[in-house]
Amino acid sequence: MVKYKELFKENNEDVDERYILMMERIDSLLDGEDASLSGNKYKDYFIKTAQFIKRLDEWKRFVYNGGLEKEDLEVLKNWNVKLYEDIIEETGAYGTSYANPSYAVEKLGEEFGPLLSFIYTELRGGIIYAVEFRYTELTVLLELFVEVLCLFEEEDYSVKELKDIIYYFVNDYAEMMIDYRVREMLDPDLSFATDIIMESDLSDIRYLYKFGEYISDNEISLARFLNAMSQDEIDSMAYTYTHGYEEGFKIAGIDLSKKKTVNIRYFIGQERMIRAAIKQFEAMGLRPVIYRAPVARINRRLTLRPGYAGTTANKQYDYDHRMDEAIYLNKAFVERKISVTKNAYESRKNLAKVYAGPAVIEVFGEKPFEPVNKKGCYRLHDKQQKLSVYSTTECSKIVNEYIPQSEYSFTIIAYPLPEIGDNFDEIFQAIVKINTLNNDDYKKVQQIIIDELDNAVKVHVLGRGENCTDMMVMMHELNAPDKETNFENCTADVNIPVGEVFTSPKLTGTFGVLNVSEVYLNELKYKNLKITFEDGMVKEYTCDNFETEEENRAYIKENVLYNRDTLPIGEFAIGTNTTAYVLANKFNIVSLLPILIAEKMGPHFAVGDTCYCRGEELKLYNPDGKEIVAKDNECSLLRDTDPDNAYFDCHTDITIPYDEIGSITSIHADGTEVDIIRNGRFVLKGCEMLNEPFATK
């Protein structure tokens, strides 16, 4: 860590004087020497925020002086509570915190409250900047606070003036914030997390607090659980993960030897497995790039947290601030963001060239989150929604320019968190079993399903009971059926566990209703989700999460359509992992599973891009030697003529559980109908193996 600290020594010395000046100003406010806010109704906000900044300063000194290495566990726990106590969900303190927009509105008014809440929320990023020795970022946050303080010391101040301060702050420091984000995504020398993982005594759970993130019982219990496992068990889990990554390159025909870095994304507490994985990746010639989930709002997208992370202190807090960029999002800012992103990648094009792709470990088991729409939370208006889509699209083009999707691979695997319940140990072992099911057995059975589906011109999917799913899915025509196939035979390589056959269906002629009683997408819960499609595009959508239809539609538009008016069906698949389904029902954890496992437990549709997005030209073959040709749809085919409407930079899988499926039927050109599934069970001859787990229910 000493070496890492030296990376920022020069920058930190450059801002040292500025930092001292800001702290002197804040001290004068707290000492009562500054009477300029006397009688001001915003005084409580500034005092409490200044007290938090003072705590940040103490935290900064504690970290710099080696407190994270020297102090005992209780001291570190107390620091963690002090830093996060006003947003921790369990304490109830969030209800009276200025981090809560609703409380800020109550105390500060509808105009100033949300703006001041945003500033306080951004200041909370200082926890991370202090632990990573990034004092420049910390200093500019303090300068923002002092500038706002000075504004409110004047006799006349306006909402416009406050918005302008925020806008110019974000705009002025966009280059610094975005450039660093791109750097940490590509540069293995930014080794903050890697150093902790490789240099710490992982048997001493004090190491968890070195990350600076909120540490809950999940992280502590998970670390202790992995510490109790043998090294052989740890190495075996790591091998499933790293071997799947390596296999992805072989299957796609990409030369892994040309790559030098792998991005590891994981959950804090899994460090023992990650250390083993790093060693295995290094044997492949890959150095780890491990960056945390984004901190500053400018680098965030809704509530998504790409990177390493721990349990969020409060999901409602994250949800309340999911669209704070509404304060400053305009055309000029978006163009600046795009320009800065382009420059950041251009300056690191050599690092981008040797980037091999992400290796992701997802987690599940947290209590499903049902958000509440609160007063004072920002929402993007129609024009901003379009700007947000434009920004995402253009930045994705830049990333693909420097890191073409056809030149890298990935892998994803998932494990439970201790929060899942008292039988965590048993569930964990069950998931290890699911993640290591025999690929060859599934490969053979899935080929039988594919052979039948390749006879189909369309596939009919019907729900049963209260599930009103009724989808007609159009297949691509095969020009050479003896050499071509529409469906990929998906085993456990990049996408673990094993268990699905999937295709990119034709949009024209695909229509109907997709319905799921309960589903958990991107860490948000949906109740009775219904999406209607016409010619493969989303036409209508609703759910039962909120009291009003307006709220339900807005919830789906923001978090499934990502503020677009519509999206295409990017994937139709049939999950075959009945073992996972039975085990999930046995432990009553179906609603807690990540889509990575849930998609293997029934038929599913994805809205957004196809599975082959920006890699359509790669030739891929199933184990039987047939080329997979259904990689495009009518949208992706526009990539050369109308690229803005070809890709959508999202892909959300929505699975219908077996027990909600009435039938999946292959319909041939001559009208012949062949059932794949009937009443939640596989009925196609040769697929009997897939029903065996149901007998153990």
The arrangement of strands across the sheet holding 569-575 comes to 488-490, 500-503, 569-575, 603-608, 651-655
Please give the Cα distance from 516 to 527 (Å, whole number).
8
**Which pair of tokens denotes residue 299?**
């680098």
Please give the Cα distance from 613 to 393 (Å, whole number).
13
Check whether residue 286 and residue 162 sit in a common domain.
Answer: no
Give the bridge partners for 355, in sequence order: 261
Please give the Cα distance from 536 to 564 (Å, whole number).
15
Query: Does 178 fall in a domain?
Result: no
Please give the Cα distance from 417 to 218 (Å, whole number).
6
Among 605, 537, 614, 612, which Cα is nearest to 571's?
605
- Of the three residues 140, 172, 204, the one that is the final residue of a domain is 172
Among 311, 370, 365, 423, which Cα is nearest to 552's?
370
pLDDT of residue 455: 97
DSSP line for 594-653: -HHHHTTSSEEEEEES-TTTT-TTS--B-TTS-EE-----TTGGGTTT-GGGT--S-EEE
* Contact call for residues 581 and 602 (beta carbons, < 8 A): yes
Cα–Cα distances (Å) from 622 to 277, 430, 540, 619, 688, in that order, read: 28, 29, 35, 10, 22
* Contact call for residues 334 and 384 (beta carbons, < 8 A): no
Please give the Cα distance from 229 to 625 (Å, whole number).
40
Among 56, 1, 45, which Cα is nearest to 23's?
56
Cα torsion 94, 98, 100, 106: sign: positive
Among 654, 388, 391, which Cα is nearest to 524's?
654
Check whether residue 654 and residue 540 sit in a common domain.
Answer: yes
Check whether residue 161 and residue 189 sit in a common domain.
Answer: no
Give the bridge partners for 621, in sequence order: 627
**Helix pair angle (159-172, 135-153), 10° resolution:** 160
541 phi-psi bin (left φ>0, alpha ψ -120 to 50, beta other):
beta
Query: Does 428 fall in a domain?
Result: no
Neighbours of 643 (CB within 10 A): 11
Among 74, 145, 645, which Cα is nearest to 389's?
645
pLDDT of residue 122: 98
Among 587, 265, 554, 179, which Cα is nearest to 416's?
587
pLDDT of residue 697: 57
Please give the Cα distance from 159 to 109 (Å, whole number).
11
Neighbours of 468 (CB within 10 A): 15
421-436: burial string, b at 16+ Cβ within 10 Å, e else = eeebeebbebbeebbb
Query: Does 431 fall in a domain?
Result: no
First to last CA, the chain: 51
Check whether residue 59 and residue 198 sit in a common domain.
Answer: no
Query: Does 72 fall in a domain?
Result: yes
Among 363, 366, 464, 451, which Cα is nearest to 414's?
363
pLDDT of residue 24: 96
DSSP single-letter state for residue 516: E
DSSP line for 317-367: HHHHTTTGGGGT--HHHHHHHHHHHHHHHHTTHHHHHTEEEEEEEEEE-SP
Query: Does 99 fall in a domain?
Result: yes
Please give the Cα distance from 265 to 256 (Å, whole number).
19
pLDDT of residue 370: 87
Distance of CA 249 to the CA centre of its chain: 23
Please list the rounded mean pLDDT of every run of 10 residues in the chain (697 residues).
Answer: 77 94 95 73 94 97 96 97 90 91 96 97 98 97 97 90 97 96 97 97 98 97 97 96 93 93 98 98 98 96 93 94 97 97 98 97 90 93 95 94 93 95 94 91 95 97 96 96 95 86 97 94 90 98 96 95 95 95 91 87 94 88 94 94 90 93 97 96 96 84
Check whether residue 631 and residue 605 sit in a common domain.
Answer: yes
* Contact call for residues 570 and 606 (beta carbons, < 8 A): yes
Please give the Cα distance from 26 to 435 (Å, whole number).
53
Burial classification of residue 459, based on how many CB atoms lie within 10 Å of its CB (0-12 exposed, 13-18 middle, 19 or more buried): buried
- Phi and psi of 264, rounded to 5°? -100, 120
Check whether residue 260 and residue 326 sit in a common domain.
Answer: yes
What 3-state class would DSSP assign to 79? helix
pTM given for the model: 0.91
Check whether residue 499 and residue 606 sit in a common domain.
Answer: yes
pLDDT of residue 8: 87
- Of the three residues 413, 429, 457, the one that is the final residue of a domain is 413
Check whether residue 25 and residue 105 sit in a common domain.
Answer: yes
Give the bridge partners for 413, in sequence order: 361
- Of the three residues 172, 196, 218, the one that is the final residue of a domain is 172
Check whether residue 510 and residue 633 sit in a common domain.
Answer: yes
Check whether residue 408 and residue 442 sit in a common domain.
Answer: no
DSSP single-letter state for residue 657: P
Asked if omega into 497 is within 30° of 0 (cis), the reply is yes
Query: Does 422 fall in a domain?
Result: no
Please give the Cα distance from 105 to 121 (Å, whole number).
15
Please give the Cα distance from 160 to 328 (Å, whole number).
11
* Contact call for residues 371 and 423 (beta carbons, < 8 A): no
Check whether residue 361 and residue 214 sit in a common domain.
Answer: yes
**Which pair of tokens denotes residue 100?**
């809560």
**Which pair of tokens denotes residue 403?**
């890191």
Stated as kind and residue range, the H or E segment containing 532 is strand 524-534
All residues at 6 or more sequence positions from 370 whose CB lies less than 8 Å from its CB, including other chains: 525, 527, 545
Total domains, the chain = 3
Q: What is the span of the domain harbouring residue 244? A: 185-413
Check whether residue 125 and residue 213 sit in a common domain.
Answer: no
Query: Does 180 fall in a domain?
Result: no
Query: Does 387 fall in a domain?
Result: yes
CA dihedral angle for residue 429, residue 430, residue 433, residue 439, rounded to 10 degrees: -160
pLDDT of residue 41: 86
pLDDT of residue 44: 94
Please give the Cα distance from 531 to 543 (Å, whole number).
9
pLDDT of residue 90: 65
Among 139, 127, 120, which Cα is nearest to 80's?
127
pLDDT of residue 195: 96
